Chain A
């Protein structure tokens, strides 16, 4: 496992990932009776479902000669067979059949990782299994609630997962990266407020009496046909350690009380993001856009998903270029701006988790 260098400014350019945490390995629909391979937190996993539909995550390397189990096939009630020499493991990772012998070597096991299926995702725990409490799965209830509708995708991002967290914790970048959809200059002109506790960080920003950018004007008109006029816009970003960020976003007709809590004259969405480190320089970025209006419209679901797909494509391009620039300039450091307060708290909480795991190596 990679040791992490700490600096007092908590601005590591390549931040390690805690292992005692739930990470999304896949969307629920991706995991089937046909095994698939996915690397999570530097560990290749074979994911499949048992006959009863239970999701299983085994290390994707046979005990015998490390052939990838994900290339094999499911067998019996809950087993998977290595494609190379036919060794069969059950969902606990125990060998249940060995070729050419009447007994089974008691040492023949592959690690089986704790799995929880929740909020349309399959979550895995790669750290100490005795600490794998399902109550620690981050709250993403909008993903599977009758009061919310929407859909999402996965981005395979060629950057350290922390760069995605930085990106989401400060939305000032929307003005520059997403100028044609959600960007507007009021973003960097408005004030924001940062709060935190032991495992969450919240960044709130309100923009009053502004023009709705194209993305939000379209959403307002879906709910209020023919809408014209000014809006109050909000972005309330909530980080849950180590890598989930839900963003409460929306606009309402200006002056109708949204900042005070009455959002009835507006449209509200939640951008659900959970980032799973793949390697030190790549991650699986699972996102969805959920809304609480016009729930019946599959058209709007598709339009929103496609719209966000376009927006996040712009982020992906930037993140990849940023990682390349980081790697090309190993002797240059990061510096911080006032707008990084949210992202800096995120880094500090993650570093505390790494420290608790004994994996944060302070610099001398």
Chain B
């Protein structure tokens, strides 16, 4: 895109250059990347209005920072990077205000999956279909969002950071302000609850 390169060259020559016509257009960002950013945010926060706000914050943040966008990465990558920061800010705000889960007490939703001897009571069944192809189905998105929504904020954030972003555990501990041992418990609870919820509402085979 020669127009783009022209813009970058001009900005680097003079930071006060008014944005010219070929500059990246924020409304075009919304049109091209809005839905993808929204879905990405939804996987993390499981709440449509929060996800919408995060997309808005991301695009406004991008607008302010657009002169620092040197075009080294694609617009989508750049915007997703900003979104990830907004997600972390949101998680920090939300979890600071919420009481911590009682990690010493047993998690009843998990205890329900086992009998009194600690053996599965009817647990993990054979799944119909594969999670990778399930994302091609709009209804699966609804089910996944509802299952993620059912998790407490800290469990969901720990799960999303670890399973989607593959964030190192030390960083997640800092983000959520928990010890490593507590993070292991949060992750185990999130995984076990989410697996059961998805099985119950989507993957349970009919036979």
> Is chain B a partner of chain A in the same complex?
no
Residues in B lying within 8 Å of A, measured CB to CB = none
